[in-house]
């Protein structure tokens, strides 16, 4: 029924933007405004429309954006990183953890069906296995979940967002919107955290010949190394990757903005968790000839306001405990400088299973879920 008689008001274009159901009950009918016209619609018709709309909404599972109870599948939850992620997520009421039966882990059809039912798949797998799961997701098309890959397989791959939120000002936003996120490597996150702000600030040229030294707890070496250390079969300390082909180097170069491949010498100590990563510098070899305070100021400016990465004063003792941040998702950055010798050492301290792996994954997952 259209209004007739009396004063006639001009059509207000803004009325076209009103929701479908506006007004109230008039007898057994509902008064609504549609495209600027007043209509009287039977209440039964309104109920039928609502029922149809609700049924449609309930039949569609959103794959992105806010979901009040997202489903998370940890593919490889029995491994070191997978177990750590599951432990950090356990007991949370704002998400649902989904598992695949052990006998179906290598069943592509069963895994595809599960992947199509979840919102985010977190991959804690060897590189080749991670690629296989991503291929299953590709085959699902619009039914595919978002992917957070903790392997090395996709860290410098096109179409993937690097999962280090503190990398640059818009990185956290990029992670939040991404369909595919590559979680950081433990050594790489620390090396990049030390170098990227100084390269961006012009204090370290991208073509500098750099050396990166590091020590990690044995939990980063996988099940075989863990068993060797915990059984007493392993040595107390060892250097490794002396073929100078460590798998974290590509991401260190890509996201540290380096054009010359650094020398990277990692090592393992007889402790389960904890990590120190160091970059020694000859200050007079840098074009800007900075002092230690310049390096510290640039790093502090980059990480100002960040929750999980902070620049800390270098202790006067000249000593650092690799285990100090175990159980956290934090990273501390230090600048040790000897101005008389014109030398400095940049140091990052973190838990290799925290900010270097599972903690970083949980942080990235929170961003992807809108947290």
Residues with a known catalytic role: 186
List CB contacts of 260: < 8 A, sequence separation 6 or more: 206, 207, 208, 209, 210
- Token pair, residue 165, equals 């939120």
Give just the sign of the alpha carbon dihedral 229, 231, 233, 236.
positive
List the strands of the sheet with 146-149, edge to edge: 96-98, 71-75, 120-123, 146-149, 180-183, 161-163
Exposed (0-12), middle (13-18) or buried (19+): which is 292, by Cβ within 10 Å? buried
| CA distance to 30, 42, 329, per residue, from 27 (Å) | 8, 9, 61
The tokens for 242 are 């002396």
């Amino acid at each position: 029924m259209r209004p007739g008689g009396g004063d006639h008001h001009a059509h207000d274009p803004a009325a076209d933007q009103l929701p479908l159901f506006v007004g109230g009950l008039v007898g057994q009918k509902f008064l609504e405004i549609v495209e600027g016209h007043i209509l009287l619609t039977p209440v039964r018709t309104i109920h039928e429309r609502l029922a149809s709309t609700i049924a449609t909404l309930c039949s569609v599972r959103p794959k992105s954006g806010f979901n009040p109870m997202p489903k998370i599948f940890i593919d490889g939850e029995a491994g070191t990183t997978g177990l750590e992620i599951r432990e950090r997520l356990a007991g949370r009421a704002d998400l649902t953890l989904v598992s695949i039966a052990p006998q179906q882990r290598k069943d592509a059809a069963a895994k595809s069906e599960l992947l199509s039912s979840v919102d985010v798949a977190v991959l804690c797998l060897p590189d080749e296995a991670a690629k296989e799961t991503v291929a299953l997701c590709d085959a699902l098309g619009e039914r595919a979940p978002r992917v957070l890959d903790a392997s090395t397989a996709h860290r410098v791959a096109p179409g993937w967002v690097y999962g280090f939120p503190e990398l640059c000002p818009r990185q956290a936003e990029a992670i939040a919107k991404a369909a595919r996120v590559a979680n950081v490597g433990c050594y790489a996150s620390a090396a990049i955290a030390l170098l990227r702000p100084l390269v961006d600030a012009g204090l370290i040229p991208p073509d500098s010949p750099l050396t990166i030294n590091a020590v990690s707890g044995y939990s980063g070496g996988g099940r075989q190394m863990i068993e060797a250390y915990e059984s007493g079969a392993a040595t107390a300390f060892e250097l490794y990757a002396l073929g100078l082909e460590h798998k974290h180097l590509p991401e260190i170069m890509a996201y540290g903005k380096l054009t010359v491949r650094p020398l990277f010498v990692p090592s393992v100590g007889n402790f389960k968790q904890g990590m120190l990563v160091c970059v020694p510098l000859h200050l007079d070899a840098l074009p800007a000839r900075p002092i230690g305070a310049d390096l510290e100021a640039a790093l502090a400016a980059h990480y100002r306001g960040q929750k999980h990465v902070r620049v800390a004063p270098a202790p006067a003792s000249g000593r650092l405990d690799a285990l100090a941040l175990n159980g956290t998702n934090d990273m501390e950055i230090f600048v040790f400088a000897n101005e008389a010798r014109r030398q400095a050492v940049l140091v990052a301290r973190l838990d290799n299973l925290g900010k270097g792996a599972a903690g970083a994954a949980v942080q990235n997952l929170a961003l992807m879920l809108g947290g």
